Structure 1
């Protein structure tokens, strides 16, 4: 930590940061949530960007609150934190990239026709005469008897991928229809999986062809921050990333494939066939010359523990991410602080409220770890760091419950489920919701892959059953205004405030619905904390096999 906050300021926070001394200990408090968000989303916290004074203030605040609640340090060696060494790479504007064959040179412009970055520590990247391979959707899914790669050797080559899954745009009569969840994106559809698979196969680089509908966002989002990457500095040498990774604009992809004698739309259809095999684009070569600025810094996960009184080695994790986007360009009102009040100061406040209420209850047999991850906005970096080097063994981690963006428009008749068909925790959620007079609604845009875009996914990848509460996954059926009002709240938030200065604390928030959702998590955590049950992945989940590898350790 680089900044020691004045003692008086910490005392002020500990007294006032979540001060509602008339709150019932057994109930989640909307007033507490609002008070804590007001602090964490204030200009003083500078948008809570990792590696800035805003991080120091945030970490100190979270620790002060957990001490007040009565938690004990959950980090290594009696610490409240876990170090997350990070690296920021920035491709300089002088970058040169192109595709070529004997007749054509297609020059690529960063941010316009491509959006390329690197997660390596290389300061100069020179690639000359690199073969290019079209790998279709790039799925290697043995459980679906599907392998796009066949016998192709990607070593030292550039892999070009289609975005999403093979069945995303399939017609009902096609053989692939329903094989990868229909419109629901599986992990094979995520760009992160495609980059990882390319790296496992020795590729120099990987580019995903952008499509707005299949990606779930337009080119402006894919090109935002082109050339910049924030990642773990201490990468596993057995799983080093590709040298170059990013997005290829659809228009540029059409030109590239036409130069190789192919039609992109036709290849999309071909790649949906089970017999498709990756192939090298005959005569096409890729060249690049990039200078990269590398900076390193340390960030922190913040961890508080409530030890179990019978089986303390069995741990339930409740988590949110503390980071936001820091300082940016002024908006139309002149605001520069991208405070992330909802995303995810409100989630962090929710975890603190869970800790306060659960601490006030009779002690649980199992332990509860209340975790606040860093650098979610950079690609789930903090939660990935914990999953790779956990404080508590993953095989004895019971479940993970994640809060990331809660709706602020009032009480809801339903709760939104993200990632249907993954684990039996969703059955627990349905039961708890029913007992509260509510019902479960599935996310309304499963093709956007929200299940793979929040911190719980880092836990899922190592086999821990997970449940995510995310208010933007579907318009809630609000008590006042119904589904129409819930959809309007999402449209207003995503359209105006998501990752922008507009995501600020407001006294007009109605946190009744947020309290309802956090209360559901409290019930589920309390139940699991008092049982010997181990939640399980459902048949067909991508993560079931990973969890089963350690089954003998949970007997």
Structure 2
């Protein structure tokens, strides 16, 4: 890796020395050289070792509360302790997260009109309510378009209709996706109104008994198999005071083929109804009833976030938090053949990078002015539960949390000339990212598919919802050279096809140089913020303004 220009770092180090951060007579040049040496010490061998270990069959897919969790927690704690990092939660590296595990019997059927729809083949439904039996009986079906109530966009699909006790059928994504030139919402860029979590939340606020989202691969940004795998089996939620009674009783998905049959039975054409819903707020009673009985096995359990801290040399109460989720989908003993969802790409890569960053910071001879913390969260795959719990029960006060830098499914496709910023334009954190990227001769670009709503799909979002500026960026799509382009073309097919599949396994032919470069990039971003007195702000158009 080419050494970058030292000059911009000289001012930072000079300030540190002037503040008395070092008791030794250390020159600016020596400290700059130390930073560069540490920067360049981030390497693919360390990252490879972490990925191979965490994604091994021994860890059984790292499902929360499983044998895989115990192995993961032990591994992370041992690594962080060996680096000399302090436990982040008093004298412990662990933060308990109380979960309720709800496993629905898979032999259920959803009845709509005179048709029966099969679990995982046509539909996936479940209930977050902490009840052994949840029954939906003869509930009236209502199509509510995108299921959006957004006053700032002048859009309310629920206006003029009472859906109390009814089953709402909802399109995936938001109205801007199918008609990006209309000026509705943010065009192809998904807003939170397009996220499935929002749709269930709004249906609950409207008093619906059930909410069914119609799956389509393009607007969802993933295929039906992802729905079938991710929403079946053990599902986790946070333990709540009302046992989730405030949520809709039944929430789930219909395949688009199943939805087309439902609309046809109602004497309607699904495509025509969708076209009407795209044009403006829309709802339509379907004159059909839905019924399903969900038999649940409930199990309350405790999973854990992991937190370690490198105390700041001047303002230790102020923190930059790096985050990555350690969990994946675990093991499915009902499958024939390979049963383990190893989660090498998603997200052993992010965990490995977070560990590499922790090692780098611990190697600095002069520590940053602000504290640097490393958070590994649980149950991301179940709806960002670990980060949601942390953000709602923060160990480090949110008003002392300067920024969150998140790593999730980092690129195994080699080095790139660009850096993809997920949710580009949301905060001033991109200014620091841009400075760091220039040192690598890289440029910032918008994520390739903003319509996928990736900003709402990883753990930084939990911080953003609480007003903490949060950055999610990683390698882009322009390969560094022709050889990388050829490798990328071959490998990307496999990586994409293995998302949330048992084939998401470590491969010896992976080129991890892109993860190394992205880790170095984020290392410098955190270092710059960590040695600043600035508090990065959200952009004026962002919906996540900090409440201070």
Task: State the TM-score, normalizing by the size of structure 2.
Answer: 0.86
- The aligned counterpart of 1:35 is 49
Spell out the pairing of 1:344-493 with structure 2 (5 A cutoff): 344-361=347-364, 362-470=366-474, 475-481=477-483, 483=485, 485-493=487-495
Spell out the pairing of 1:170-189 with structure 2 (5 A cutoff): 170=179, 172=181, 177-189=182-194
Do the aligned residues in 2 keep the contact of 1:475 with 1:489 (CA within 8 Å)? no
Spell out the pairing of 1:91-170 with structure 2 (5 A cutoff): 91-100=104-113, 105-170=114-179
Do the aligned residues in 2 keep the contact of 1:163 with 1:190 (CA within 8 Å)? yes
Q: What is the CA–CA distance in structure 2 between the aligned matches of 1:224 and 1:341, rounded to whole Å?
A: 17
- Would you say 1:249 and 2:255 are equivalent positions? yes
- Offset of residue 439 of structure 1: 1.5
- The aligned counterpart of 1:58 is 72
Q: What is the CA–CA distance in structure 2 between the aligned matches of 1:171 and 1:351, rounded to whole Å?
A: 36
- Offset of residue 522 of structure 1: 0.8
* Secondary structure of 2:382 counterpart: coil
- Offset of residue 330 of structure 1: 10
Moved over 6 A (4+): 329-332
Match of 2:342 among 339, 342, 345: 339
Do the aligned residues in 1 keep the contact of 2:107 with 2:119 (CA within 8 Å)? no
- Would you say 1:84 and 2:97 are equivalent positions? yes
CA deviations 1:264-309 (Å, max 9, x no partner) are 22222222234x243443x332222222222222211111012223
Aligned residue pair count: 510
Spell out the pairing of 1:493-504 with structure 2 (5 A cutoff): 493-495=495-497, 497-504=498-505
Do the aligned residues in 2 keep the contact of 1:86 with 1:230 (CA within 8 Å)? no
Q: What is the CA–CA distance in structure 2 between the aligned matches of 1:321 and 1:395, rounded to whole Å?
A: 23
Q: What is the CA–CA distance in structure 1 between the aligned matches of 2:186 and 2:263, rounded to whole Å?
A: 28
- Offset of residue 118 of structure 1: 1.3
- Offset of residue 321 of structure 1: 1.2
Q: What is the CA–CA distance in structure 1 between the aligned matches of 2:334 and 2:118, rounded to whole Å?
A: 26
Report the CA distance shift for 1:533/1:142 in structure 2 as closer, same or farther (over 3 A): farther
- Offset of residue 480 of structure 1: 4.1
- The aligned counterpart of 1:192 is 197
- Offset of residue 245 of structure 1: 0.6
Match of 1:269 among 265, 275, 281: 275
Give the superposed CA RMSD: 2.5
Report the CA distance shift for 1:184/1:485 in structure 2 as closer, same or farther (over 3 A): farther
Instruction: State which drifts further: 462-471 or 499-508.
Output: 499-508
- The aligned counterpart of 1:302 is 306
Do the aligned residues in 1 keep the contact of 2:136 with 2:250 (CA within 8 Å)? no
- Offset of residue 171 of structure 1: 6.2
Report the CA distance shift for 1:513/1:293 in structure 2 as closer, same or farther (over 3 A): same
* Secondary structure of 1:422 counterpart: coil
- The aligned counterpart of 1:287 is 291
- Offset of residue 487 of structure 1: 4.6
Report the CA distance shift for 1:155/1:447 in structure 2 as closer, same or farther (over 3 A): same
- The aligned counterpart of 1:509 is 510
Report the CA distance shift for 1:431/1:118 in structure 2 as closer, same or farther (over 3 A): same
* Secondary structure of 1:390 counterpart: coil
CA deviations 1:485-542 (Å, max 9, x no partner) are 43543222122x4334443334433322111101111111111112222222223333
Report the CA distance shift for 1:45/1:271 in structure 2 as closer, same or farther (over 3 A): same
Q: What is the CA–CA distance in structure 1 between the aligned matches of 2:470 and 2:289, rounded to whole Å?
A: 43
Q: What is the CA–CA distance in structure 1 between the aligned matches of 2:424 and 2:247, rounded to whole Å?
A: 30
- Offset of residue 365 of structure 1: 2.4
CA deviations 1:158-200 (Å, max 9, x no partner) are 111111111211163xxxx233222221111111110111112
Q: What is the CA–CA distance in structure 2 between the aligned matches of 1:499 and 1:225, rounded to whole Å?
A: 8
* Secondary structure of 1:167 counterpart: helix
Report the CA distance shift for 1:393/1:201 in structure 2 as closer, same or farther (over 3 A): farther
CA deviations 1:413-462 (Å, max 9, x no partner) are 22222222322223332232123211223222222222222221222222
CA deviations 1:78-106 (Å, max 9, x no partner) are 32111112222222234243223xxxx23
Instruction: State which drifts further: 429-438 or 227-236.
Output: 227-236
Gaps of 5+ in 1: 1-22
Do the aligned residues in 1 keep the contact of 2:166 with 2:208 (CA within 8 Å)? yes
- The aligned counterpart of 1:528 is 529
Do the aligned residues in 2 keep the contact of 1:475 with 1:488 (CA within 8 Å)? no
Q: What is the CA–CA distance in structure 1 between the aligned matches of 2:221 and 2:323, rounded to whole Å?
A: 25
Match of 1:214 among 211, 219, 243: 219
Task: State the TM-score, normalizing by the size of structure 1.
Answer: 0.85
- Offset of residue 312 of structure 1: 2.6
Gaps of 5+ in 2: 1-35
Report the CA distance shift for 1:108/1:504 in structure 2 as closer, same or farther (over 3 A): closer
Do the aligned residues in 1 keep the contact of 2:418 with 2:477 (CA within 8 Å)? no
Do the aligned residues in 1 keep the contact of 2:100 with 2:300 (CA within 8 Å)? yes
Do the aligned residues in 2 keep the contact of 1:123 with 1:294 (CA within 8 Å)? yes
